[in-house]
């Protein structure tokens, strides 16, 4: 007797506690409800995770950025383990922001390569990873499983195309950001400049020189993240000293640690646009901050992944 092929079971979207609002928005775009999951703590603070729905044979997508505290990545691992033990057919770790990615090589004696360690942990439980704007693109190779690396650039480009700029220059905050800046310049029909930056210490940088003409022109500084805001504010002041007009900042991941909000709010910048890959608490928000949603992009990527379609077609 010939076996009858069963239709593929619908996918499930789960959320950790790190950015539940983003997961809800993604689920809304996909016209599904979030899978019920219990998150609680024991008296000593230890995490407890339980999946409250049947996931047997289902395609499960778990949305959880791994920004600090470190419990966020632990919660992701526990959720994946619970889904695997409940016989999920495939588990995709949807990591809007992959934390611990800056330590991606041994550049000093006796230091940990945290990016590889975290990738190893995720690879133990997941079947594939879907992430946005790794700090370094080579991190895709750190995972021993398929990785779909998404870019927030289309979200920013669509937003900035609605603005009117005066002879726009896209400015790379350092040499490492030149490739990203060149991509923005091409899509926004702008010219390119690069800041020669000297890093004096961790989270501290000094703009030494600007390669390119910015006098009397609007400037856009794109980057993958804003942590303490030191690099960005230093770049803004350097551009202003050289006669730049309006200055805009665009960064995918808004860590906004320590004095970042105060630095950026006091800097001569028109607007700081970020995405909601990381949940931004009220105390880190300021008037110049504009939060763009990457939920539609994530929803499309999840739908394409579930249907075995090409995710790279999102960027064609």
> How would you label 165-201 residue by residue, b for 16+ Cβ within 10 Å and e otherwise?
beebbbbbbbeebbebbeebbebbebebbbbebeeee
Indicate which residues carry an active-site annotation: 197
> Token pair of 226, please?
């804003």
Q: Which of 152, 149, 150 is nearest to 140 (CA)?
A: 149
Burial of 110 (0-12, 13-18, 19+ CB in 10 A): exposed
Residue 302, SS3 per DSSP: helix
Contact 244, 194 (CB under 8 A): no
Q: Rounded distance, CA 301 to CA 314, Å?
A: 8
Contacts for 202 with CB less than 8 Å, ≥ 6 apart:
none
Three-class SS state of 165: coil
């Amino acid at each position: 007797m010939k076996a009858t092929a069963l239709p593929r079971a619908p996918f499930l979207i789960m959320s950790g506690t790190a950015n539940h609002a983003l997961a809800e928005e993604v689920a809304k775009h996909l016209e599904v409800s979030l899978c019920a999951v219990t998150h609680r703590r024991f008296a000593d603070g230890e995490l407890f995770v339980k999946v409250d729905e049947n996931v047997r044979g289902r395609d499960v997508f778990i949305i959880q950025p791994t920004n600090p505290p470190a419990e966020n990545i632990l919660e992701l691992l526990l959720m994946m383990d619970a889904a695997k033990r409940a016989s999920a057919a495939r588990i995709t770790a949807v990591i809007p922001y992959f934390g611990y990615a800056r330590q991606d090589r041994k550049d000093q004696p006796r230091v940990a390569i945290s990016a590889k360690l975290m990738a190893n942990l995720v690879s133990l439980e997941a079947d594939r990873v879907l992430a946005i704007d790794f700090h370094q693109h080579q991190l895709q190779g750190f995972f021993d499983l398929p990785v779909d690396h998404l870019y927030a650039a289309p979200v920013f480009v669509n937003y900035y195309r609605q603005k009117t700029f005066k002879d726009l220059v896209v400015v790379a905050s350092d040499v490492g950001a030149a490739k990203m800046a060149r991509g923005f310049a091409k899509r926004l029909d702008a010219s390119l400049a690069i800041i020669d930056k000297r890093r004096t210490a961790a989270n501290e940088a000094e703009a030494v020189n600007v390669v390119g003409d910015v006098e009397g022109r609007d400037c856009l500084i794109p980057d993958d993240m804003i942590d303490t805001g030191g690099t960005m504010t230093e770049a803004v002041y350097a551009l202003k000293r050289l006669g730049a007009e309006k200055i805009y900042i665009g960064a995918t991941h808004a860590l906004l640690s320590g004095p970042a909000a105060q630095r950026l709010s006091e800097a001569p910048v028109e607007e700081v646009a970020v995405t909601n890959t990381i949940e931004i608490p009220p105390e880190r928000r300021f008037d110049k901050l504009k939060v763009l949603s990457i939920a539609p992009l994530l929803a499309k990527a999840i739908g394409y992944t579930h249907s075995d379609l090409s995710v790279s077609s999102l960027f064609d």
